[in-house]
Structure 1
């Protein structure tokens, strides 16, 4: 059994053409350095964001100081489309990235309330799918199963022999609900078992697909 892709997938359905057209006409492209904040947790929702290049992560800090990682976003993804008045998560540039930004009021004036509402509904549906898949990933009992599922998802989405991981070990740990020590140890075990190979810290290839799929079940 193969794993349903738990992260952002550039093949997912995009919003209506009229919305993307408005963003192309009215949006401003902004560049962000690695680890730069795009918007903050609890900021008022005022803009729509579409990732042009790079990778973005969403992060929430809890009242007791714990860091929760929401998801990763890739080129073509819309993010920050929340139904409420404030952002529940902050958005940070995981790598150097370019983001197309447009005010909601400009979209509303050009495309109308109905188009904006449809975009929010589409984004809410997509975020619900992300959340459900993330919960399924966290529900796996073993650290090896969680890490294997994470690697398998990226390998299936990349559709090439060598897979680039833009996130570091700490991001992986926070996303999987594990410690960084556990993630590092599990990756070493998978490599020692010749399931995957890491020629560098953020690049890997799958050597035994069936084994990785079995571990990810």
Structure 2
């Protein structure tokens, strides 16, 4: 299905595609099943993606077979921009996911005469760089408890669930994002539960109620 998104003056409530292009943007919408691949590492980077609903993980497989997740993309997020001609990571749907897709070249061409939109693109690129820097710090300088606390703070900031975090990703994903073992993530979450910082609403432990945000922030250091 083709969708035209209009955004006057490069501002958009519904998403960044229109905000970046600043004019009518021709895009397509696609549905992906859970675990379906959107693109693979090394494939041509022809398209830019924006999540309508669902969630996507981007990751690399290390030489020893381990998986390192570099980012989780949530509702409204854009991804797929690359410095080169190919993708550096593989992207998979974590849950049933719907995305809006448009050609990268078409988006860039639409922005040529829109200085404000080029500023928005620079802002997006800067935010992605900031996330990458924070993630490197998270992997290299924090204890396991601090890592899990930092992850929950990130999700609390990004997910619009003021009373409860509904995490689309499971503990295996969290472990591969934080560079930890699955058991270590489970122990850290149990420690936070025992300290009254959070509680779980379901057996899956994907529904998290943060009881003590100040205590969580202290754990993050």
Q: Give the deviation of 1:199 after TM superposition.
A: 1.8
Provide the C-alpha distance between the structure 2 equivalents of 1:174 and 1:147, rounded to a whole number of angstroms.
Answer: 12
Aligned pair 1:177/2:179, yes or no? Answer: yes
- Matched position secondary structure for 1:29: strand
Q: Give the TM-score, by structure 2 length.
A: 0.82
Is the 8 Å Cα contact of residues 171 and 186 (structure 2) preserved in structure 1?
yes
Q: Give the deviation of 1:64 after TM superposition.
A: 2.7
- Matched position secondary structure for 2:175: helix
Higher relative contact order (CA 8 A, sep 6+): 1
Aligned pair 1:65/2:65, yes or no? Answer: yes
What do residues 30-52 of structure 1 show as CA deviations (whole Å, max 9, x unaligned)?
00011110011110111111111
Provide the C-alpha distance between the structure 2 equivalents of 1:18 and 1:172, rounded to a whole number of angstroms.
Answer: 31
Q: Give the deviation of 1:208 after TM superposition.
A: 2.0
- Matched position secondary structure for 2:154: helix
Matching of residues 78-157 of structure 1 within 5 Å: 78-108=78-108, 111=110, 113=112, 118=118, 121-157=122-158
Matching of residues 188-203 of structure 1 within 5 Å: 188-200=190-202, 201-203=205-207
Provide the C-alpha distance between the structure 1 equivalents of 2:156 and 2:107, rounded to a whole number of angstroms.
Answer: 36
- Matched position secondary structure for 2:201: strand
Is the 8 Å Cα contact of residues 57 and 93 (structure 2) preserved in structure 1?
yes
How many aligned residue pairs are there?
203
What do residues 31-82 of structure 1 show as CA deviations (whole Å, max 9, x unaligned)?
0011110011110111111111111110111233221101011122110011
Provide the C-alpha distance between the structure 1 equivalents of 2:217 and 2:58, rounded to a whole number of angstroms.
Answer: 27
What does residue 50 of structure 1 align with?
A: 50
Provide the C-alpha distance between the structure 1 equivalents of 2:32 and 2:122, rounded to a whole number of angstroms.
Answer: 27
Provide the C-alpha distance between the structure 1 equivalents of 2:161 and 2:136, rounded to a whole number of angstroms.
Answer: 24
Ranges in structure 1 where 5+ consecutive residues have no aligned partner: 1-10
Q: Give the deviation of 1:210 after TM superposition.
A: 2.0
Provide the C-alpha distance between the structure 2 equivalents of 1:15 and 1:28, rounded to a whole number of angstroms.
Answer: 12
Provide the C-alpha distance between the structure 1 equivalents of 2:133 and 2:45, rounded to a whole number of angstroms.
Answer: 23
Q: 1:164 to 1:20 in 2, by over 3 A?
A: farther
Q: Give the TM-score, by structure 1 length.
A: 0.83
Q: Give the deviation of 1:114 after TM superposition.
A: 6.3
Q: 1:132 to 1:46 in 2, by over 3 A?
A: same
Provide the C-alpha distance between the structure 2 equivalents of 1:167 and 1:20, rounded to a whole number of angstroms.
Answer: 33
Is the 8 Å Cα contact of residues 61 and 67 (structure 2) preserved in structure 1?
yes
Provide the C-alpha distance between the structure 2 equivalents of 1:45 and 1:121, rounded to a whole number of angstroms.
Answer: 19
Ranges in structure 2 where 5+ consecutive residues have no aligned partner: 1-12
- Matched position secondary structure for 1:139: helix
